Amino acid sequence: MGQAYLLPLVAANATAKKTNIVSAMSTEPTGKGRPTPKRKVSEAKRITSSLAPVVTKDQKRAAKLLSRQDRMTSRAAYLRGEENAMPARDRGPERRFVRNYVDARRSIGEYFLPIIFIVLILTLIPEPAVQFGAIAIMYSVLMVAVVDGIFLSRRIRRIIGEKFPNSPTKGLGMYAWLRSTQMRRLRAPHPQIKVGDKFN
């Protein structure tokens, strides 16, 4: 008698729970609740978020000014002959010795550019003899500069071989000759010694 009375109550509770679960499932959204963004929009958001933060014009101007000051400082250190500011082609005790050797002497090559300027002025004179003489002077100076460069290159390689026996001499002769053909005030790095000075 008691069991027959409890069975309808259990069945009613089970039916009520099933009804609640079905109603709860029907109220949940079936999708994401928003439209799927296009691929271009997603890529644009991702690129924008990965870029550096937006800076103002004043910050850009200050950064540009700081960068220029750094370049000027590095350039000044290079012209002074500081080793840590030099490019690879000018580094090392061998190349410093070559620069000092070239700067301690006079060479015809350093006067080549001024002579060419004078020759150009002389060729404007409508006189064949003057024009021919100016061109002859230019080629004569050029030949002397080439011959001086050949002897300078050989001498540099020999001295470097004696002073720095374990160092390669390849390229040092050309390095010395090219520096000797530049005007003294235009050489970079600037000469560290005067003409005729002794150095080690």
pLDDT band at 196 (very low <50, low <70, confident <90, very high): confident
Band (pLDDT 50/70/90 cuts) for residue 60 is confident
Q: Is the pLDDT of residue 86 over 90?
A: no
Averaged confidence pLDDT in the chain: 80
Q: How far is CA 80 from CA 12, 96, 190, 198, in A?
A: 99, 12, 6, 19
Domain residue limits, the chain: 63-186
* Confidence tier at 103 by pLDDT (50, 70, 90): very high
User: Measured between alpha carbons, how far is residue 181 from residues 4, 12, 21, 109, 153 in Å?
Assistant: 122, 111, 96, 4, 13
Burial class (CB in 10 A: 0-12, 13-18, 19+), 190: middle
The three-state DSSP-derived secondary structure of 126-164 is CCHHHHHHHHHHHHHHHHHHHHHHHHHHHHHHHHHHHHC
Q: Alpha-carbon distance 112 to 181, whole Å?
A: 7
CA distances from 84 to 41, 76, 91 (A): 48, 12, 8
- Report, as an integer, the average pLDDT of 131-142: 92
Q: Residue 24: its pLDDT value, please?
A: 45
Q: Evaluate the omega torsion of the peptide bond into residue 8 and state whether it is cis, within 30 degrees of 0.
A: no
Locate 52 and state its tokens.
Answer: 């550096």
Rounded to 10 degrees, the C-alpha dihedral 78/80/84/87 comes to 30
Task: Kindly indicate the confidence band of residue 1, based on its pLDDT and cuts at 50, 70 and 90.
Answer: very low
Would you say residue 39 has pLDDT above 80? no
Q: Residue 36 has what pLDDT?
A: 66
At 26 the pLDDT is 46
pLDDT reported for residue 144: 93
Are 164 and 93 in contact, with CB atoms under 8 Å apart? Answer: yes
Interval 138-153: pLDDT, tens: 999 999 999 999 999 9
Q: Which helix (H) or strand (E) holds 4?
A: helix 2-27
